[in-house]
Chains A and B, each alone.
Chain A
Amino acid sequence: MKKLIRNLKIAFAVLMVLSIALGAGLVYQQRQSQTTLLAVAGENKASLRARYAKAGEIISSDGIPLAYSEEGERRYAEDPMLQRSISHVVGDYTHHMSNTIETLYQDELLGTRRRLIEQLLLDFSGRGMQGSNIHLTLNSALNAYAYELMQDYTGTAVLLNWRTGEIVAMVSTPAAPMANIIAYEDIPDSGLFNRALMGRYAPGSVFKIFTTGAWLESPERNPSFSLDCTGEPLRPNGARDSGHGHVDLNSAFTLSCNVFFGELAVATGADEMIDFLDSTGLQKLDSVDRLSKAAPRWNNEAAEHDEALLSWFGTGQAVGDLVLNFTPVDLALTSAAVANGGKLMEPHIVSKITNPLNQVKEKAEPKEIGRMFSPQVAARLQQLMTEAVASDQSIQTNARIDGFEVGGKSGTLEVDTEGGRSNNALWTGFINDPDYSWAAAVICEDVSGTNSTAVAVGGRLLEAAVRSTGG
């Protein structure tokens, strides 16, 4: 009998340890499920469907619901242009796209990560089941318009406020209607890829903004530097162009003279170019709020002892082993910094998050996160960029807006595609007016001929932005 009791005590202790381990394991697995598993597997579609049927709204800056839940269903902005234009940013409740508000703000939209006090407050006001609303900086009209401008091209357009860093339009083409994305059918090639955030593009001549900046900041600069451009490279295999005649910085910038900017890069030096690019702080920018953004990349080690290659680097052509690429958001931020006295503002796409009681939980405030150019260099670049649009010799006449001073820089990049060689047309620019503080970047892939398409789209987008703010 004594033995039985002793054995029972041992057995009892073992079973209790098992039970406590089971309880603790349950709590641990719940945590795992909410973190690791969610990251690996996402959620099953049936439950996502049910949960998003009660999720909060995603609202544009002009108060248009871009995604909302009604009658047990998740719905998206009905206007077909608008719907496609926001598809890459807002995303789908099925999470076929992962770098989206719907996916990355799931916890807010569903209201799953709330502090106990807040949850209790909401519960007892009868709104515990509702998720929080996400207010975007995107303007629905401008976004839809940007899509309309871009819909015939493959590419992307970004419009932002250069004083605050708020992104007001961001589209990527091709785009698919939401119903197709949710059903995962009839989606055009790369139609789920957000080019504006994740597309890495060689900048072409747009990079000359940086070449100029680096040269102006370097002790080697000679303000009266000029040369005769015959179109032939000044060193074997170096940067070449069509002949522009005698050019100085002003005319070379307007004409986008490769030979001239190649020489600027050589004069500045390979390491100094990289130091300058690093000092802009752009490469640290790998997200916009919770959305991932590809960081820009640059590397000219190959050109350290090769001035010809370095001259190509100065023109923004990543030939050979050179690495040079930017996302459209980076390019828009560059124009924004030029307009804003060199300041790099933190870009935002979410302006605020409000809970079902309309209390603001998170609010984005304009924040300077770095300085891309010194005020003097920014002022000089402003002058160069505005002149490049206004000048008689301008190749960016499409970007002009009546009654406003527009600054810009265009670029073309020859790319190899399946159908042979074609061009990516790039443009970035800004309106030089603190009351209409808009900056934009546009990339049209695979266009024949010149860069005028991107320039035109950018100009129309800025103009629409101006008109929308009463200009």
Chain B
Amino acid sequence: MTIYEASYLLRYVFVVLAVIIALRLLLSSIRDLNWGIKHSLRPAQGYFLLSNQGDGQTMSLPLYHTTNIGRAASNDIRIYSDEVKRRHALIYRFDGDWYVRPQGAASDVLVNEEEVHEPCRLKNGDTVSFGPSTFVFVDERAIAAERGETYEEAIFDDEAFYRAVERNSRPPYAMWILMNLFTLITTFLVFRMMPGVKEVQKDFLLYTAVALLLLDLYFLLLPLILRFADRILFLTAAQLTVIGMAIQSRLALVGTRTWRRAVESGSEAEMLQAARELFSAYRTQLMALFIALAVLWLVMLITSRTRFLEAITVLSGIITPLLLIITLIFGRGAATHGAGLWISLGGHSLQLTEFAKITYLITMAAFFKNRTPFRVQIYFAVWAGVNFFLLMLLPDLGAIMILLPVTLLVFVVMTSEYIKALLILLSSGVLAVFAYAVFPHVRSRLSGWTSLWDEVNDQNRQVVYGLQAIGRGNLTGRGRGNGSPGGIPLAKSDMIFDIVCEEFGVIFGICVIVFIVILLLRAIRTTILARDGFTSSLALALGAALFFEAFVVIGGTTGLIPLTGVTLPFIAQGGSSLLSKWIMTGLLLGLASRHEEGANRT
């Protein structure tokens, strides 16, 4: 039996492994999310409103990180009075402090008997009035500090809650072992199929082993770095990364024409040269992973322990368009990819737009940490408009197709502005028509998509070839190294999902989708459990961005929607992409471990 025949047999193993890991993690995530939703109405500890009942009796009202006050049933605190609007006011926490803000110009909100129209910070003992009702804001920590005591959070319920959060963040170790098994088998197969040059074989094993070891170490040590480390999230990202390593090493090293030509030449020097050259593509990818993992702990710690993200919201608002402008001026690669998104830097090319996405999300999360007044929404619209305009100029359609739905989603979830969201959706439809009319790049993508089932032409060749690869893969794939990615343009980056489907099969492809969904579920869980609006909205934004990025590229390469140049998170070739996805993961991990503890630390 040759190694290729063995690989053909092993394809069943990969499918089984992927299905087990995906299903197990998915079930854990769903169960946990369910639990989260049930326990999410958990008031902030040590903060509440006192209300005077008139007969000397007082009642304490719980506060949530975003507490809606008004007459309507959907409010957290309902006041039955005609002087109170349906949506009257909002009390929310940001950056560790509490604020109150009227929901509209007509809502009267008094703090210490002075009318307020802007967000007003609340201190212990402040009186807050909404129409006829007056409350006193109580901060037990401040009281304790005045008395020179330390505030203790030790309530049994909370301990049980934390234990549950910790338990729910822990994936079964068996899944971690299966991930390692997956990597060992894929690595073994590539090792046996790759050019038989000792030096390069050694390097391949070394780099792969170090990458796997780092992922394992992180997985094991994560609870030491962060208290509520979301290891299911980490394991899912790691699983996607090892799938990426498996497919990138195979594409770089197995069955290449470069190697065949070198063998035909018969010269040993040429063979060594060719093998080194082939390996360099894989090495670049792994170097990006090493850099990502080297900074991951820092990203996580800063996110969870400090208010750094809150501090840089304005700065990232400025950086985002700057990154785009720099790319617009210095960007390279228009000839090969239709859009010049690459910046050359010391012999490496860097895709700044990948990082602009992150800063965009941070700023957006700050804007929509709660239901913002209309005026602020307009500011945001202008700022976002500038960014989208720059993205169109690049043109980076992929980024638009990711950021637009993410923005809409976060906007709707955080502000409940369903009608406005619908209007934005409609106007973006108009914009799409505009883009179609103005940019030939857009037109050709679309015509390629519509003619998909009629003929093969220059516009749709890539997708047609990709679909053929998916078709060849059938349910269980053709085995590693047995696929024929040779004819597919951009097989390593844009079209990677099709290669995954050809060699691992469509079942495995669905598992990849499930992994992405798990990332989203974990992000939504953080959104629910978070103790302040900013953490909530940023977690949602990051999760949704990963989800939509995968959605756009998988939909595009399978011909379900028009193709745009987007990379499949963690799997596609591209150092900038991999690095930025791991930074996003780091942010999510950090946000997940904030909870009560993080939110209270000042």
Q: How far is the CA of A206 from the CA of B234 in the complex (A)?
A: 80
* B539-580 contacts to A (CB < 8 Å): 540, 544, 547, 551, 554-555, 558-560
Q: Is A222 an interface residue (CB 8 A)?
A: no
Interchain CB contact under 8 A, B66 and A4: yes
Within 8 Å by CB of B486, from A6, A8, A47, lies A47
Interchain CB contact under 8 A, A5 and B482: no
Interchain CB contact under 8 A, B413 and A30: no
Q: Is A225 an interface residue (CB 8 A)?
A: no
Interchain CB contact under 8 A, B554 and A26: yes
Q: Which of A34-42, A168-176, A276-284, A335-343 contacts B (4 or more CB under 8 A)?
A: A34-42
Main secondary structure of the interface of B (DSSP, over half): helix
**A360 → chain B, closest Cβ, in Å?**
23
Q: How far is the CA of A25 from the CA of B561 in the complex (A)?
A: 10
**B504 → chain A, closest Cβ, in Å?**
13
Interchain CB contact under 8 A, B558 and A5: no
Q: Which of A122-130, A370-378, A411-419 contacts B (4 or more CB under 8 A)?
A: A122-130
Q: Is B506 an interface residue (CB 8 A)?
A: yes
A2 and B471 in contact (CB under 8 A), knowing A19-B517, A41-B455? no
Interchain CB contact under 8 A, A47 and B513: no
Q: How far is the CA of A387 from the CA of B75 in the complex (A)?
A: 106
Q: Is A7 an interface residue (CB 8 A)?
A: yes
Q: Is A367 an interface residue (CB 8 A)?
A: no
Interchain CB contact under 8 A, A3 and B471: no
Within 8 Å by CB of B8, from A2, A9, A25, A129, lies A129
Q: Is B122 an interface residue (CB 8 A)?
A: no
Within 8 Å by CB of B472, from A19, A25, A47, A124, lies A47
Collect the chain B residues with CB atoms within 8 Å of residue A49's CB.
484
Interchain CB contact under 8 A, B470 and A2: no
Q: Which of A10-18, A59-67, A93-101 contacts B (4 or more CB under 8 A)?
A: A10-18
Q: Is B126 an interface residue (CB 8 A)?
A: no
Q: Is A27 an interface residue (CB 8 A)?
A: yes
Range for the number of chain A residues in contact with chain B: 35 or more
Q: How far is the CA of A23 from the CA of B508 in the complex (A)?
A: 11
* A316-358 contacts to B (CB < 8 Å): none
Q: Which of B209-217, B262-270, B391-399, B520-528 contacts A (4 or more CB under 8 A)?
A: B520-528
For B478, the closest partner residue in chain A by CB is A129
Q: Is A409 an interface residue (CB 8 A)?
A: no
Q: Is A45 an interface residue (CB 8 A)?
A: yes
Interchain CB contact under 8 A, A37 and B468: yes
Main secondary structure of the interface of A (DSSP, over half): helix
Interchain CB contact under 8 A, B486 and A50: yes
Q: Is A29 an interface residue (CB 8 A)?
A: yes
Interchain CB contact under 8 A, B551 and A36: no
Interchain CB contact under 8 A, A32 and B453: yes
Q: How far is the CA of A46 from the CA of B479 in the complex (A)?
A: 18
A15, A36, A51, A126: most-surrounded residue (chain B CB, <10 A): A15
Interchain CB contact under 8 A, A1 and B64: yes
B8, B479, B509: most-surrounded residue (chain A CB, <10 A): B8
Q: Is A242 an interface residue (CB 8 A)?
A: no
Interchain CB contact under 8 A, A47 and B468: yes
Other A-B pairs, 11, CB within 8 Å; known A19-B516, A124-B9, A129-B8: A1-B66, A4-B536, A22-B513, A25-B555, A29-B470, A34-B474, A36-B453, A44-B468, A123-B12, A126-B5, A128-B9
Q: Residues on A close to B: CB < 8 A?
A: 1-9, 11-12, 15-16, 18-19, 22-23, 25-27, 29-30, 32-34, 36-38, 40-41, 43-47, 49-51, 112, 123-124, 126, 128-129
Could you list some 30 contacts between A and B, CB below 8 A?
A1-B40, A1-B41, A3-B74, A4-B536, A5-B40, A7-B413, A7-B414, A8-B527, A9-B37, A11-B409, A11-B412, A12-B524, A15-B409, A18-B551, A19-B517, A19-B551, A22-B513, A25-B555, A26-B510, A29-B470, A29-B559, A30-B474, A30-B506, A32-B559, A37-B452, A40-B454, A46-B487, A47-B472, A49-B484, A123-B9
